[in-house]
Chains A and B, each alone.
Chain A
């Protein structure tokens, strides 16, 4: 079970999304998951091995690394991507349930074409609209929470070159040097920018859905 399987699972959801939703999914897979896998993981690959402290005291390096990097950027991004893509599965489950209901009605004698049922695109209205809107709302919340967690944990989004460590068993204050700080800062800002774009796409999709439903309601009443 890896990113490829997640892509297969979410690809199915794509069929029932709005156009903005499809763009969001593409941005997610190409600019976030793919960048994480092919580039970011290698940049952070030697983060602990090349974290060097100016001391021979055994254990000092481990402790200082743990103190300054409680959770690695890579793991946070992986968790963020998993959480952000999961609400789409709510929509997939709702669509599967709707199809199941239609099949049940077919079995009870109503005339519905089975082939059409398999291929048709389910329209986003009624209870599915609420499920879809909730999923976008949760996506937004998860994105915002993770961006905040990043900011809180790493005091801004910049990777320092040098950190001063005083944790036991380090004697006094010890200078520790982070590996590839500039490259890490670049990727952090890149992932942040794409995360921002995804949030904007989600907001746009939310507005689009709300406006569409309002227009439908006003057309019904006039």
Chain B
């Protein structure tokens, strides 16, 4: 499992994201992960071997390096990128669960042929109902992780700048010892460079959150202004049906409009005045 594996996993999630979500994913992969792998890792490659202290005292080099660099930038960025991309998997799991429910519904309604099953796998899930909440939670967690890591970076490496020289007094160094860091300018450039896409990602996440909330409110106001919803017709069915029919109806009211559209298109399922609650 490496960055390419993560890319494969997350590309699947891409299909069910909003447009802003897809832009966010592209920024993550091209301007952060790729820059980390092809450039930043080689800049920090010799950070310990080229960390030189003005002393011949054995152990002083190691102790000073450990004192000034508790966690390397590269490891922090890797952790940040993994934690920031992982909430998207919540969405992937929810989509998989919904697809499983749709397949179950197809079996119950007698549409379990290969063509319908394939369509369930391929069609894009609408972000409504419980999926909307999962998606919003994933965006909130992303924002939180980004902010936390930016704060950690600031705490560990004040001002995001890499010093050329650090003065070390840790045992076993005799008195105060000058220690010189390897490639400080290049490291500062890349630290600032990685900061910019991180901020861009925070802005994109906030924009996506606002977009989702505004869209949900718009849908809800549309639903309120058009009170003839289809729920009544399904509840009408429930009173006079057997257990199997009840289960089908329950699944139908839980699903978003897409599966009903599909069934309606393909098998002439007639539902007069039907309006899905999450449209």
The residues of A with any CB-CB pair to B shorter than 8 Å are: 1-6, 41, 48-49, 57-59, 61-63, 65-66, 69-72, 74-75, 78-79, 82, 86, 89, 93, 97, 169
B185→A78 contact, CB < 8 A: no
B52→A3 contact, CB < 8 A: no
CB distance from B51 to the nearest CB of A (A): 8
Q: What chain A residues lie within 8 Å of B52 (beta carbons)?
A: 58-59, 61-62
Question: Per-residue 0/1 for B179-197: is the Cβ within 8 Å of any A Cβ (1 yes, 0 no)?
Answer: 1111111100110010000
B39→A75 contact, CB < 8 A: yes
| Given A41-B42, A63-B165, A97-B19, 13 new contacts (CB under 8 A) | A1-B6, A1-B7, A1-B34, A2-B38, A58-B54, A63-B180, A66-B184, A69-B186, A75-B43, A78-B35, A82-B34, A93-B22, A169-B178
B182→A48 contact, CB < 8 A: yes
Known A2-B4, A5-B7, A71-B189; contact A59-B180, beta-carbon cutoff 8 A: yes
- How many residue pairs at the A-B interface have CB separations less than 8 Å? 101
A169→B54 contact, CB < 8 A: yes
Q: Give the distance in Å from the alpha carbon of A63 to the alpha carbon of B35 in the complex.
A: 25
What are 18 A-B contacts defined by CB distance under 8 Å?
Answer: A1-B7, A1-B33, A2-B38, A3-B38, A57-B54, A59-B54, A59-B179, A62-B180, A63-B165, A63-B180, A66-B182, A66-B184, A70-B185, A70-B186, A78-B35, A86-B30, A86-B31, A89-B26
B42→A75 contact, CB < 8 A: yes
Q: What chain A residues lie within 8 Å of B53 (beta carbons)?
A: 58-59
Q: Give the 6 A-B residue pairs with the shortest CB-CB distance, closest first.
A: A59-B180, A70-B185, A62-B180, A58-B54, A1-B33, A1-B3
- Cβ < 8 Å to A, chain B residues 14-51: 19, 22-23, 26, 29-31, 33-35, 37-39, 42-43, 46, 50
B: contact size bracket: 35 or more
Q: What chain B residues lie within 8 Å of A59 (beta carbons)?
A: 52-54, 165, 178-180
Q: What chain B residues lie within 8 Å of A41 (beta carbons)?
A: 42
Q: Does B100 contact A (CB under 8 A)?
A: no
B164→A63 contact, CB < 8 A: yes
Q: Give the distance in Å from the alpha carbon of A61 to the alpha carbon of B181 in the complex.
A: 10
CB-nearest residue of chain A relative to B165? A59
Q: Give the distance in Å from the alpha carbon of A4 to the alpha carbon of B2 in the complex.
A: 14
CB distance from B4 to the nearest CB of A (A): 6
Of A4, A62, A86, which contacts B181 at CB under 8 A? A62
B183→A48 contact, CB < 8 A: yes
A62→B26 contact, CB < 8 A: no
Q: What chain B residues lie within 8 Å of A82 (beta carbons)?
A: 30-31, 34-35, 38
B50→A48 contact, CB < 8 A: yes
CB distance from A53 to the nearest CB of B (A): 12
A71→B54 contact, CB < 8 A: no
B31→A1 contact, CB < 8 A: no
Q: Give the distance in Å from the alpha carbon of A48 to the alpha carbon of B53 in the complex.
A: 17
Q: What chain A residues lie within 8 Å of B55 (beta carbons)?
A: 58
CB-nearest residue of chain B relative to A71? B186
Q: What chain A residues lie within 8 Å of B34 (beta carbons)?
A: 1-2, 5-6, 82
A66→B185 contact, CB < 8 A: yes
Q: What chain B residues lie within 8 Å of A5 (beta carbons)?
A: 4, 7, 29, 34
B183→A6 contact, CB < 8 A: no
Q: What chain B residues lie within 8 Å of A79 (beta carbons)?
A: 35, 39, 193
Q: What chain B residues lie within 8 Å of A4 (beta carbons)?
A: 4
Q: What chain B residues lie within 8 Å of A78 (beta carbons)?
A: 35, 38-39
CB distance from A104 to the nearest CB of B (A): 11
Of A65, A70, A89, which contacts B30 at CB under 8 A? A89
Q: What chain B residues lie within 8 Å of A169 (beta carbons)?
A: 54, 178, 180
CB distance from B135 to the nearest CB of A (A): 19
Q: What chain B residues lie within 8 Å of A71 (beta carbons)?
A: 185-186, 189
